[in-house]
Amino acid sequence: MKILLADDERGIRLTLSEDLEEAGHEVVAVEDGELAMKELTKQHFDCMISDVVMPRVDGMSLLRFAREKVPDIVAIMITGNATVERALEAMRLGAKDFVEKPFNNEKIVLLVNGYGESQVTGRKYQQLVEEVTSEFKVDQMVGNSPQMKKLYSDIKTVAESDFSVLIQGENGTGKEVIATVLHQHSARVKGPLIKVGCHIANVNLLEDELFGHEPGAFTGASSRRIGRFEQADGGTIYLDDIDDMPIDTQAKLLRVLQEREIERLGGDKPLKVNIRVIASTKVELRDCVKEGKFREDLYHRINVIDLHVPPLRRREGDIPVLVEHFVKRYAPDTELTIAPEAMGALVSYPWPGNVRELQHSVQRAIAFGKAGGVLKKEHFLRDYSAELPQGTETPGDDRRPLKDVVSAAETAHIKNIMSIAGSVEEAANILGISRKNLWEKRKQYGLLDD
């Protein structure tokens, strides 16, 4: 293991470092918490051994910093002033062990060896999982349609590059899954994948989430907070729903993309970050640019590579494949058949909530139809009396634009689900979208008073 040892006692640093290195570990030893923080920002550590009482930055503050920077770091705290309260606090902050001074170095070495073996076992297991899992076998990327085959090909082509990627697609199409696959098949796979939702309306909260803050940056900021960009250093950051990002924050994001550096709130020193940016949008960003809601220079920065995720209604032949996939996943030990009329209805339905809505529909069908062994049309959705919601039929002379037809389908289906669901939360779950997105769609279609 690569170990960071922080203790202001020179004797402990020298002797414990020697014993750990003799056991086969690599050790970086420093005499205070501030130097330890600097090392954590420069390189990756598997384990940290830290004194609790140290000059400049104490061990508890260092522990918080380390856990934010490296969430899976093995932290062992040592102290000459042990109390039950302090030990409990350390464990609450994520420490694996709390050792009282004086101690035998052999005890620390044995602890570290044990955690090292656990990490190796975990890595071997993960490697085995990756080897036996075929490429792109992810729930929301199941499908053999021409549209999905093209998407698979595009992902394979761009995954290994380090360019920014913009994933465009409706809610529920699986954009987050694609971001995960891009990271897993990139040169940054050993680094972190940090995901951030940009729909936080409060600018200060969003920027604190992205950039972190220094102590005293604002009321209540008693300690340093490491933001998502710093956490993603060496890996990938995924900015979900970037179309919701406030315009002021967009300017700061542009600087990150241009300079590859950030400043914590309340800080005055720029910090370099080595990241790949993947962003997603549920709307056409070019329209947002025209409306003045999104910066044009930022649009071009993040749109180096664009991937378009097709909605489920345009994925030819994928609905039966997805239904079978979800049935096998959620009822692996049960022989279930799907009634032909049910499959016909599922294929005809426009699925405004896309794959996520279909997934929840299959789960419901299994719950109601499992006992009988046959999944019928009425099992998939409550009051599913027609293949299309009322108002979505498109007779031969209907010359409405496709977006108007889709809007009519969404309006009718949302009204139907709201009428049968027990709450807004249940309705959102059935539709496969968030409560926020449901509220936005109800507002868009004038359904808030229904």
Residues 247-287: tens digit of each pLDDT: 989 999 999 999 999 989 988 888 999 999 999 999 999 99
pLDDT at residue 123, rounded to an integer: 55
Give the C-alpha distances (Å, rounded to integers) separating 163 from 272, 281, 297. 18, 17, 16
pLDDT band at residue 405 using 50, 70 and 90 as cut-offs: low
420 has a pLDDT exceeding 80: no
Q: Between β-strands 271-272 and 74-79, what pairing exists: parallel, antiparallel or unpaired?
A: unpaired
Interior/surface letters 77-97, b for 16+ CB within 10 angstroms, e for the rest: bbbeebeeebbebbeebbbbb
Residue 341 has a CB neighbour count (10 Å cut-off) of 12
Helices and strands (H and E) in the chain: how many: 19, 16
pLDDT at residue 215, rounded to an integer: 86
Phi, psi values for residue 49, rounded to 5°: -115, 120
139 has a pLDDT exceeding 50: no
pLDDT at residue 68, rounded to an integer: 85
Residues 375-394: tens digit of each pLDDT: 988 888 754 444 444 444 44
82 has a pLDDT exceeding 70: no
pLDDT at residue 204, rounded to an integer: 86
The domain made up of 313-444 has a fold known as Helicase, Ruva Protein; domain 3 (1.10.8)
The domain made up of 2-127 has a fold known as Rossmann fold (3.40.50)
Closest by CA to 227, choosing from 207, 243, 209, 244, is: 209
- Identify the weakest region by mean pLDDT among 6-10, 154-158, 206-210, 389-393: 389-393
How far apart are alpha carbons 157 and 417 in whole angstroms?
40
Strand (E) or helix (H) holding 365: helix 354-369
- Identify the weakest region by mean pLDDT among 23-32, 153-162, 352-361, 414-423: 414-423
How far apart are alpha carbons 170 and 303 in whole angstroms?
17
What are the structural domain ranges in the chain? 2-127, 139-310, 313-444
One CATH from 3.40.190.10, 1.20.1740.10, 3.40.50.300, 3.40.50.10470 for 139-310: 3.40.50.300
414 has a pLDDT exceeding 80: yes
* 2-127 and 139-310, same CATH topology: yes
pLDDT at residue 443, rounded to an integer: 83
What is the DSSP-derived secondary structure letter of residue 72?
T
Closest by CA to 109, choosing from 205, 17, 234, 11, is: 17
- Identify the weakest region by mean pLDDT among 214-228, 294-308, 330-344: 214-228
pLDDT band at residue 307 using 50, 70 and 90 as cut-offs: very high
49 has a pLDDT exceeding 60: yes
How far apart are alpha carbons 324 and 338 in whole angstroms?
9
Strand partners, 79: 100
Phi, psi values for residue 2, rounded to 5°: -95, 120
Residue found under tokens 């426009």: 350
Strand (E) or helix (H) holding 63: helix 59-69
pLDDT band at residue 308 using 50, 70 and 90 as cut-offs: very high
What is the DSSP-derived secondary structure letter of residue 310?
P
pLDDT, greater one: 241 or 416: 241
Closest by CA to 219, choosing from 276, 265, 257, is: 265
CA 339 from centre of chain: 36
